Amino acid sequence: MNHECRRGEFTISTDAARLDLNVIHEFLTTSYWAAGIPADVVKRSIEHSLPFGIYQEERQIGFARVITDYATFAYLADVFVIEAYRGQGLAKWLVEVIVAHPRLQGLRRWMLATRDAHALYSKVGFVELKSPEDWMECRFADVYAKSSPS
């Protein structure tokens, strides 16, 4: 079941059929967190997530996705609003809609990673890790820079 919210001329929707994969890929491939990401990886990541698109009429102007088991855990990823639409509170609205989504209520933990948007996420309850020593990661930061096998 798709979820939709409207505010003035803008709509946020979880309808994956509305997503413009070219807009999403174009933004992500130049982002600091997914530079060089192949289009097929973007497509696959969306297929295995709960996607949220922001639209002005039919034009996609933003995106985010949540990786979740819908029971205990959610990871918020790939949040963006294209530059021409920034400064209108759309990213804040997007994150508010995401954390209020009916299928994402009652989760034990939400996570995300950000280099420069701490103020945005703190407005909806995200805080720095209370016990970073409890967390581990395998990090492959340059995975998209490596050439794929033929």
Q: What would the pLDDT profile of 92-148 be if each residue is shown by its tens digit?
A: 999 999 999 999 999 999 999 999 999 999 999 999 999 999 999 998 878 898 755
Q: What does the alpha-carbon distance between residue 94 and residue 125 come to, in Å, rounded to a whole number?
A: 14
Q: Measured at the alpha carbon of residue 112, what is the angle toward residues 23 and 126, in degrees to the nearest 5?
A: 120
Q: What does the alpha-carbon distance between residue 65 and residue 75 come to, in Å, rounded to a whole number?
A: 8
Q: Domain spans of the chain?
A: 4-134
Strand 73-81, strand 10-13: pairing: unpaired
CB 51 within 8 A of CB 88: no
* pTM for this model (two decimals): 0.92
Q: What does the alpha-carbon distance between residue 18 and residue 4 come to, in Å, rounded to a whole number?
A: 12
Query: Smallest Cα–Cα separation from 19: which of 105, 92, 78?
Result: 78
Q: What is the pLDDT of residues 8-53, one digit of tens each?
A: 999 999 999 999 999 999 999 999 999 999 999 999 999 999 999 9
Domain 4-134 CATH (choose: 3.40.630.30, 3.65.10.10, 3.30.565.10, 3.30.70.100): 3.40.630.30
Query: Smallest Cα–Cα separation from 124: which of 98, 144, 102?
Result: 98
